[in-house]
Amino acid sequence: MLLAIHADHPEPRKIRRAVDALESGGVIAYPTDTVYGLGCDLMSKHAIERLYSIKGMDRSHPLAFVCPDLSDIAKYAIVDNQTYRVLRHFLPGPYTFILEATRDVPKLVQMKRRNVGIRVPACPTTQALVRELGRPIISSTAARPGQEPLLDPHEIDAEFKGLAMVLDGGAGGLVPTSVVDLTTSPPQIVREGAGDVDAFR
């Protein structure tokens, strides 16, 4: 189901409808500051399994998740002073940072070594979704494994059968986030994407 939403000034009643879908265990598509994401409630094991199935993705593929702001990250990741300075400088923005997970993170979304990818997008719609839900949502690129991200919400709706909703905020981007692993010293660039990674070289 497509639901048009104002990407920069999302209507609260439409955000509420999307959150109702998430709370019911649904998987939705939504705009971010980079590409469209597919996501669900971080705390719903059934929904996470459904996301893997809808996307046709191997269960070993790591999933990142979206927090509304920096203050929320410390609940789900171990953040020392140096890491916090990095996060404060680059977020919100087009980055996924790999951090050491806390016990509050479901094992299903943890990578090997108890790490987790965390996003704080500079996108009012994504931030509104997470704030209204009250906990993180999964963030996985709206693309089949190994393929380019889909830009058009109508194409996303047609391609991924079983989505509870597609929040249509207009055409999406083509370049996903840059992924930087902050659990290593020096930090490791895992994927060069929309965010400038020169500072981590």
User: Domain with 14 in it: what CATH number?
Assistant: 3.90.870.10
Structure tokens at 80: 């020392």
pLDDT at 112 over 90: no
Lowest mean pLDDT among 23-32, 39-48, 57-66, 138-147: 57-66
CB atoms within 10 A of CB 9: 9
| Band (110; pLDDT cuts 50, 70, 90) | confident
Give the C-alpha distances (Å, rounded to integers) separating 123 from 1, 139, 159. 21, 13, 24
Note the pLDDT of residue 121: 96
Task: Calculate mean pLDDT across residues 163-181.
Answer: 97
- Domain interval for residue 31: 2-200
The model carries a pTM of: 0.94
The arrangement of strands across the sheet holding 2-4 comes to 2-4, 165-168, 28-30, 37-39, 137-141, 64-66, 115-119, 95-100, 178-181, 188-191
Question: Which is it for the CA torsion 97, 101, 105, 107, positive or negative?
Answer: positive
| Band (89; pLDDT cuts 50, 70, 90) | very high
H-assigned helices in 81-150: 81-90, 124-133
Note the pLDDT of residue 87: 97
Q: How many domains does the chain have?
A: 1
**63: Cβ contacts below 8 Å, ≥ 6 apart:** 48, 51, 109, 117, 138, 139, 140
pLDDT at 160 over 90: yes
User: For the chain, how big is the Rg over CA atoms in Å?
Assistant: 16
Structure tokens at 152: 């058009």
CB atoms within 10 A of CB 200: 18
